[in-house]
Amino acid sequence: MARELETGNHAAGYALAVAGEANRTARGAICGAYPITPQTEIVEFLRDFPFTKGRVVPVESEHSAMGVCIGGALAGARAFTASSSNGLAYMTENIFAAGYYRLPIILIGVNRTLGPPWNIWTDQGDTLALRDAAWLQFYTESHQDLVDTILVAFRVCEDKRVLLPGIVAEDGFVVSHTQMIVDLPEQDLVDRFLPPLDLPHRLRGRSVTVGGMTYPHETERHRMEIQAAMERVPVVLAEALDEFERVFGRRPHGALSAEYTEDAELVLVACNTMVRTLRNVVRRRRAQGQKVGLVKVKMFRPFPRREFARAIGSARRVGVLDRNHSPGSGGIFWPEIVTSLRDRPDVLVQDYLVGLGGGDVTPAVLEEIIDDLAGRQMAEEPLWKEVLT
């Protein structure tokens, strides 16, 4: 493997490119490319990549970027693109279409706050707004996590037991524009890990109308099939991680990872780069003797409810860090956590809205949250970070 100093975006572009190139023995690679900060370097990287069999189409909008991916995937190619924030919002109609067409397209969501007011920094509201779109969703904490998860996502999404698209999210700027040493897997290993795509319902001279009209009972069946495919993801993901470890010699995190939770009294839940700050704070508290743990939720769709209920162990207090906001509700991870713990009325779950619009989620903020959670008699409505400080 090549260990290189790379930005998150170039690392993601590389992972997409080698995944696409791995399909050169089948029907090739296709990408609709459109710039938006902080995603732009990904599509720039892809436009420069010398695909053996592939095309990166410079389109006029995100909506068309996903349109090109849809057409290319239907014709049998491995399809991928990247976007952020309002670009994802503009793409949304075709994002839903790609899910309902059952096309295993991979989209890098470089998290950026939705506007207006305009803000280019990270929060996860843009990709989380797509949670109902029949896409798998993965949230990554580092450059290496990003690269590995992109490759895993292709393998899981293209598996015939799944056949759904997937979003792999990275924090804008914090990952996208910083450099870290990262293992960039060589092509021959990626070729071993990603079998050629064989989309069962691709266009192949059959008189099939893809996406035509259905009546209610057929639509219901279609949605039930998507739900069943989502429910098969944990098994397929576990197999993919085993295979990843065999091929690349390391094992990425799965749907979630529980750290310091065995005897934890309170657990904090986070995604993306917040996990890394939180991990340091938890270690410090552990060194001081406080029984604190953390759960990194990497896979938001399908949400790993059963695994989460197990992951918190015997903890009776759970604090959710939501770097997103659903107006009129609160954080978007929070109701998922509450639902996952519906058989645990003894557990106090408090939601914390942190780092919206890219505000720094510092160790000091996390220390305050841990103290608040530890001293709390009951949960209340989602708390804004500003309320605490």
Partner 1 sequence: MTTATTAPHELRCDGILRPGNTNCAGCGMSIGLQWLEQALGQERPTLCIPACCGIVTAGAFPTSAYGVPTVACTFASAASVGTGVSAVYAMNNEDELTICWTGDGGTYDIGIATWSAAAERNEDLIYICYDNEIYGNTGGQRSSATPQGVKTSTTSRGKTEPKKDIMAIAAAHRIPYAATLSIAHRDDFMRKVQTARRMKGFRFLLMLSPCPTGWKSEPGESVDLILTAVRCGLFPLYEVFDGRRYRINARPDGTPLEDYIRRQRRWRSEQLDLEAIKAQIRENWAYLETMARVFPARETE
For partner 1, which is the closer residue by CB, 63 or 284? Answer: 63
- Per rule CB under 8 A, is residue 77 in the interface with partner 1? yes
Candidate ranges 69-77, 156-164, 190-198, 236-244; the one touching partner 1 (CB under 8 A)? 69-77
Q: How far is the CB of 101 from partner 1 (least distance, A)?
A: 9
- Per rule CB under 8 A, is residue 210 in the interface with partner 1? yes
For residues 353 and 384, give the distance between their C-alpha atoms in angstroms, rounded to a whole number. 5
| DSSP per position, 242-285 | HHHHHHHS-----SEEEES-TT-SEEEEE-TTHHHHHHHHHHHH
For residues 44 and 51, give the distance between their C-alpha atoms in angstroms, rounded to a whole number. 14
Candidate ranges 24-32, 228-236, 281-289, 310-318; the one touching partner 1 (CB under 8 A)? 24-32
Q: How far is the CB of 384 from partner 1 (least distance, A)?
A: 37
Q: How far is the CB of 218 from partner 1 (least distance, A)?
A: 6
Residues 100/229, Cβ–Cβ less than 8 Å = no
* Cα dihedral 245/229/92/147 (nearest 10): 0
What residue type is 137 in one-letter code?
Q
Tell which one of 50, 132, 215, 343 touches partner 1 (CB under 8 A): 215
For residues 347 and 363, give the distance between their C-alpha atoms in angstroms, rounded to a whole number. 25
- Per rule CB under 8 A, is residue 8 in the interface with partner 1? no
- Per rule CB under 8 A, is residue 72 in the interface with partner 1? yes
Residues from 108 through 137 that contact partner 1 (CB under 8 A) = none
- Per rule CB under 8 A, is residue 161 in the interface with partner 1? no
Q: What is the enclosing helix (H) or strand (E) of 388?
A: helix 385-388
How distant, in Å, are the alpha carbons of 33, 53, 260 from that of 58? 5, 17, 46
Tell which one of 74, 163, 194, 233 touches partner 1 (CB under 8 A): 74
Tokens of 215: 């009546």
Q: How far is the CB of 32 from partner 1 (least distance, A)?
A: 7
Q: What SS3 class is residue 217? A: helix
Q: What is the enclosing helix (H) or strand (E) of 2?
A: strand 2-7
Tell which one of 37, 64, 144, 326 touches partner 1 (CB under 8 A): 64
Candidate ranges 90-98, 138-146, 265-273, 368-376; the one touching partner 1 (CB under 8 A)? 90-98
- Per rule CB under 8 A, is residue 3 in the interface with partner 1? no
Contact map string, positions 30 to 59, toward partner 1, x by CB under 8 A: x-x--------------------xxx-xxx
Q: How far is the CB of 344 from partner 1 (least distance, A)?
A: 42
Q: How far is the CB of 210 from partner 1 (least distance, A)?
A: 5
Residue 207's contacts (CB-CB under 8 Å, 6 or more residues apart) are: none
User: C-alpha angle with apex 33: 28 to 36, nearest 5 degrees?
Assistant: 150
How distant, in Å, are the alpha carbons of 68, 74, 97, 131, 278 from that of 100? 16, 12, 5, 13, 36
Per residue in 278-313, is it b (16+ CB within 10 Å) or e — as a string? bbebbeebeeeeebbbbbbbbbbbbbbeebbbebbe
- Per rule CB under 8 A, is residue 305 in the interface with partner 1? no
Q: How far is the CB of 202 from partner 1 (least distance, A)?
A: 9
Residues from 328 through 387 that contact partner 1 (CB under 8 A) = none
- Per rule CB under 8 A, is residue 389 in the interface with partner 1? no
For partner 1, which is the closer residue by CB, 97 or 374? Answer: 97
Candidate ranges 2-10, 208-216, 243-251, 344-352; the one touching partner 1 (CB under 8 A)? 208-216
For partner 1, which is the closer residue by CB, 200 or 327? Answer: 200
For residues 41 and 7, give the distance between their C-alpha atoms in angstroms, rounded to a whole number. 9
Tell which one of 4, 37, 63, 372 touches partner 1 (CB under 8 A): 63
Contact map string, positions 243 to 282, toward partner 1, x by CB under 8 A: ----------------------------------------
Chain centroid to CA 205: 35
Which residues would be at the binding site for partner 1 (CB under 8 A)?
Answer: 27-28, 30, 32, 53-55, 57-61, 63-77, 79, 93-94, 97, 201, 203-215, 218
